[in-house]
Structure 1
Amino acid sequence: MSSEFVRYTPEIETIDPHLDELLAQIIDFWEKKGRASPSTEGTGRAVRGAHAKSFGLVKAEVEILADVPAAYAQGIYAKPGRHGALIRFSSTSTHLGTDAQLGPGLGFAIKIFDIDGPKLVEDEPDSTTFDLVLKNNPIFISNTAKHYLFIEDIANNAQDYLTRGKAGLHELLAEVLTGKGQLEQQEWAWDELFAIVRLVTQTHVRNPLLTTFWSMGAVRHGDYIAKIRVAPAAESATHVIHRDLDLTIGPDVFYPTLADELQARPFDFDLQVQLCTDLTAMPVNVLTVEWPEKLSPFVTVGRVHLPRQDISGPENFEKGDALAFNQWRVTSAHRPLGEIMNVRRIYTASAKVRRTLNHQPQAEPTSADSVLP
């Protein structure tokens, strides 16, 4: 393992010079999807374009640890302390449905309160919240905005392909590889194809509390470059009631599992940072590559405490639905890096459409207690 961490400089990013044009097309796609969602998802309400189905909003506390090694104690992790937080557990699917239909992809979005400093979400620079948006996969399914545009369109219609069995899956993969027939052969999306195959062949279903969640993309980490994850704390994991889950036993499995666990006892996750030591083996601009832990292990910088609580009842979903999570709601010391992380600025536009249609406030909450007393 190398101890020479790569220093952050703006030059490490590779951004398509036509990104603004591509972003306009991507935003248009997600805004149209959001406006149509009350009808297409059958709820009469606008639904998130991604992470559409919630498995519960959970009250939490983030403890920033003392005595963290200096290279890891950067930005918000430099000062030990405790912060109120909210976590939204969700499916990673772009649609609603039964858990079996949506599959094992899980999201973990955490909103941390009372974080000083201007935030990078353009409409909310004075917000005191700080967001991490994580998934139970260390890699993403696209490396460029150009590829993202057609892959998200294909993913949005994945069920139409998959209902036709093997033939439909083959067509889906061919569409990804060739950009729906629009890419020249030298541009074919091989890396994206392999990432999607890895994703769709993951069939092991676990309790969300026994699941590790990653940032997938790289972020600035003060003087350095990092990826972030939360992993179940070993001492908490031993007390979990439900381990491997069977999604076929009912339409909803993840939510009642989470509710059951948190009514029984508290739970902790480790908040961890992996620093980049080699830009070739640990690229910033290629999200389909997992950073090797043998080159740089994850180091714990904080603890996410989930107290014992009752998350049952429809009001929990309503409160979670009114929140917006955004990778860019961070301070400059934790700026998302690379083209795809820049694409994810679109969460602001998507959230505005959803909250407007649902008559929900656009402003950030001021504390965890103001949402979940």
Structure 2
Amino acid sequence: MLKRFWLWLGRLLGKVLLFLIVVGLLGWAAGEAYYSWKFSGPVSSEEEIPADEAELTQGIIEDAIRVVEQHRDNTRVMRDAHAKAHGCVKARFTVLPDLDPALRQGVFSEPGKTWQAWMRLSNGNAYPQFDRVRDARGMAIKLLDVPGKKLLETPASAGNQDFVMFNHSVFFVRDVAEYKLNFAAQADGKKVLAFFPSLDPRTWELRHLFIALQTLSPAPESPVTTTYSSVAPFKLGNHAIKYRVIPDPQSCPPYELPAQNTALPNFLRNALYQQLSLDRVPACFALQVQRQNPDHYMPIEDTSVEWSEAIAPFETVATIKVPAQDFDSREQNLFCDNLSFNPWHALPEHRPIGGINRLRKAVYEAVSVYRHERNDTD
């Protein structure tokens, strides 16, 4: 009797498992078909601005101010994101001597030209935390003494061309409207509601939740061993492009970083200090661009969609060398904290486009002004 029961139960469980596998495969096939249909070209090569975007942006600025106040360090107001820097380092940014003429725009217009720059490497969170915590990582580059009128210009930034990136190829929201819902939930301390705003499954953003989880990655060995992406698109002359910075170790002397104590709260800064300041070995990168092909699904207004490299491969336009240097001083760390990076500190040839970039213009500027006023810095 007992043997027959177990045989019956085994057959039942086998059928249930087979049923679940079939349902899962059908669901996967349906999802693939849906997204293949949804994410198919052609798309616009121009911006499409929603009517309510300005109102949503103002609400996001208010939420960003709430976040910086929540994360104040004693009396100092920090950034609303990427608050913890691993260091600001001097760099040399050199345009390829044989660059494709179609890409010779803005700071790339003179082949072989070298720009002096600052590079800030950071964690993504709005509050400094141990480096071993899963987090996004950021790179911001500020080219210096760039002539020409900028899209967003203050006395302090008049000669700057900025590039702002983080270590994932896509963003976990598609547009300003979704960013407003997501950021407001986080500012209220209700992170679950950021991706599940209601009980209605149609409002759930499971794909974007997966992107967010991928973005919160384990710490790299060093800040200079990671690829950093613009995520949002930009103009490069007549082209719509995305850009990224990749490590280029073959352009620098061979180097193997000694094992770091990852239990230390600031081991990424230590790794950077070990290479540049103690071992006196430079770090090398390449800046690459990816041109939009609007015949395929490479949208301007949805930053949660990755542009296919098979259709539009990245092309190297410049090299970046971070020379050996001493950077970890109190004066330089304070200087680093007061630096403001904004993708709109840019020549018209590098104009940021798309909703998330339009949002950045307003939010970065508002938070920067608020932060510097509260910190009483010039």
Q: TM-score normalised by the shorter chain: which range applies?
A: 0.7 to 0.9
Rounded to whole Å, the distance in 2 between the matches of 1:329 and 1:269 is 22
CA contact (8 A) 1:207 1:244 kept: no
1:310-352 alpha-carbon deviations (Å, 9 max, x no partner): 1122222201011100011111111111111111111011011
CA contact (8 A) 2:132 2:218 kept: no
Which residue number corresponds to residue 224 of structure 2?
A: 209
Which residue number corresponds to residue 132 of structure 2?
A: 100
**Local SS of the residue matching 1:205:** coil
Equivalent residue letter for 1:16: P
Which residue number corresponds to residue 259 of structure 1?
A: 273
Rounded to whole Å, the distance in 1 between the matches of 2:154 and 2:50 is 24
Deviation at 1:154, TM superposition (A): 4.0
1:11-69 alpha-carbon deviations (Å, 9 max, x no partner): 6212221111011101111123334433xxx4321111110101001011111122111
Deviation at 1:85, TM superposition (A): 0.4
2:208 to 178, 182, 192: 192
The 3 A distance-change label for structure 1 pair 143 and 95 is same
Rounded to whole Å, the distance in 1 between the matches of 2:268 and 2:76 is 22
Which residue number corresponds to residue 177 of structure 1?
A: 195
* Residue segments in structure 2 that go unaligned for 5+ positions in a row: 1-40
Which residue number corresponds to residue 355 of structure 1?
A: 372
Residues 125-140 of structure 1 aligned to structure 2 (within 5 Å): 127-140=158-171
Rounded to whole Å, the distance in 1 between the matches of 2:213 and 2:359 is 22
1:229 to 235, 244, 251: 244
The 3 A distance-change label for structure 1 pair 322 and 279 is farther
Identity score, percent: 27
**Local SS of the residue matching 2:334:** helix
* Residue segments in structure 1 that go unaligned for 5+ positions in a row: 1-5, 162-171, 362-373
The alignment's TM-score, normalised by the length of structure 1, stands at: 0.82
Rounded to whole Å, the distance in 2 between the matches of 1:186 and 1:119 is 42
Deviation at 1:241, TM superposition (A): 2.9
1:19 to 49, 53, 61: 53
Which residue number corresponds to residue 326 of structure 1?
A: 342
CA contact (8 A) 1:118 1:126 kept: no
Rounded to whole Å, the distance in 2 between the matches of 1:355 and 1:240 is 39
1:84 to 93, 100, 116: 116
Deviation at 1:309, TM superposition (A): 0.2
Compare relative contact order (CA 8 Å, sep 6+) and give the higher one, 1 or 2. 1
Rounded to whole Å, the distance in 2 between the matches of 1:322 and 1:98 is 22
Deviation at 1:197, TM superposition (A): 3.1
Deviation at 1:122, TM superposition (A): 5.6
The 3 A distance-change label for structure 1 pair 208 and 344 is same
1:138-169 alpha-carbon deviations (Å, 9 max, x no partner): 11111111211232244457xx77xxxxxxxx
**Local SS of the residue matching 1:90:** strand
Rounded to whole Å, the distance in 1 between the matches of 2:343 and 2:260 is 29
Q: Does residue 1:44 correspond to 2:61, yes or no? A: no
The 3 A distance-change label for structure 1 pair 126 and 48 is closer
Which residue number corresponds to residue 307 of structure 1?
A: 323
Q: CA RMSD for the aligned pairs?
A: 2.6
> Rg: which structure is higher?
2
The alignment's TM-score, normalised by the length of structure 2, stands at: 0.81
